[in-house]
A and B are shown apart, each in its own frame.
Chain A
């Protein structure tokens, strides 16, 4: 092995150890029995249920609005397109605290839209708004790329055979882009499940109403470390399953 290869291997080993250690520690710090027992707590179950409900609602909104929006961006070129794409992707790089403040300033009780009766706060709907805001760009970005990669001759063939654009999108483009769309969806879901800062600032924390799993973990951290570990372990498993689904989706596409 050349010295350079050795260097590469060392770098990979370092990266792997650094990234995997905290995840492993969650499972090592408390035994599986303790982890399971910690989930047998109404607060933990409420948080899991709420996270599932709010993240799936956010995903539904993202797919319904995001799919046609991504199709438009992938199939048309027009002035300002780059700007729109950049604006849509901006939440990807925004710190959650900025997202929380921004949501309060826009649709909070004293926000820009409050005079028009549009304001969410401290409600389950507010959680959905926060999750949608932080997760949507993941889907939009991936869906755009997936649509752009669909073989244009298929789309042309569909039109030649008399199908309109809507029919072409539904019958040809979406099935062809499905693995990419699924991957985008899984990434968006993962981001939504992990959302913490914007949710706390914008939606608050109340068991069963706005306290999602990450907020429940934070609340348990001070009084019930094992409980915090147990909920963290669940999130790790769900996230790992999502990631695996993405990989399998991509493999199936090839």
Chain B
């Protein structure tokens, strides 16, 4: 710990999607200081001039946009996930079709990846079902951790989150799978931030995510390999 604080070159600052928290913490990369939040908030910070070493998002759109704006190096896709419906283990929602009834729902705000994926799923439903589900939404949370919290607290009956989030609750929540034809492709992109203080260590960190201790931690947390591998 002392060595980590003393040697500045040992440090690595990571801005990562809230859903990556348990996997990145388990990765155990030496000197990593991570800030976990909605990917869109972290991207906005980078646009405002914040310079972490690594940016890891719950989609590929935000890293691609930052790359196009010349703010990060070329992003790579390092993991995939699945959107599921999280419910309390003893909850009254047991399938996606229950969401049109007398229940309450939390989802991500439109700007955060989990919220965008959720809306994509709803767009695949008939218009009346979609409207009925949207009418049951009680909170649009700024990140996926907020959705998990609202379901875990019993504030809502169900919430759209990633499979790995449900797994991280250790049985408190249960995942209801979405029909395969509705399941969006959830891919995670990571990039070295231009002007990063520790670009070498940032590359090392990303290499570990692709094949190494980071990959193993992602596997353990339930993340899937990047699409097409």
Q: Decide whether A and B assemble into one complex.
A: yes
Interface residues of A (CB under 8 A from B): 104, 108-110, 121-123, 200-201, 204-207, 209-211, 218-219, 221-223, 225
Task: Write out the residue numbers on chain A whose beta carbons fall within 8 Å of the beta carbon of B153.
Answer: 104, 108-110, 121
Contact of B141 among A104, A110, A205, A221 (CB under 8 A): A205
- What sequence of 0s and 1s flags, for each residue 134-150 of chain B, a beta carbon within 8 Å of any chain A beta carbon? 00011111100010011
A222 to B46, CA, bound (A): 10
- Check B99 for interface membership: any CB of A closer than 8 A: no
- Say whether B44 contacts A225, CB under 8 Å: yes
Interface size on B, residues (CB 8 A): 25
Task: Write out the residue numbers on chain B whose beta carbons fall within 8 Å of the beta carbon of A109.
Answer: 153-155
A121 to B155, CA, bound (A): 6
**Residue of B with least CB distance to A221:** B44
- Say whether A205 contacts B154, CB under 8 Å: no
Binds A, one of B68-76, B103-111, B192-200: B103-111
- Say whether A205 contacts B139, CB under 8 Å: yes
How far apart are B11's CB and chain A's nearest CB, in angstroms? Answer: 26
- Say whether A204 contacts B155, CB under 8 Å: yes
- Check B165 for interface membership: any CB of A closer than 8 A: no
- Check B48 for interface membership: any CB of A closer than 8 A: yes
- Say whether A219 contacts B106, CB under 8 Å: no
Contact of A122 among B40, B44, B109, B150 (CB under 8 A): B150
**Residue of A with least CB distance to B147:** A204
9 contacts across the A-B interface (CB closer than 8 A): A104-B153, A110-B154, A122-B138, A206-B137, A206-B138, A210-B139, A222-B38, A222-B111, A223-B44
A201 to B139, CA, bound (A): 10
- Say whether A222 contacts B139, CB under 8 Å: no
Contact of B139 among A104, A204, A221, A223 (CB under 8 A): A204
A108 to B41, CA, bound (A): 28
A200 to B149, CA, bound (A): 11
A25 to B49, CA, bound (A): 15
Task: Write out the residue numbers on chain B whose beta carbons fall within 8 Å of the beta carbon of A108.
Answer: 153-155
- Check B58 for interface membership: any CB of A closer than 8 A: no
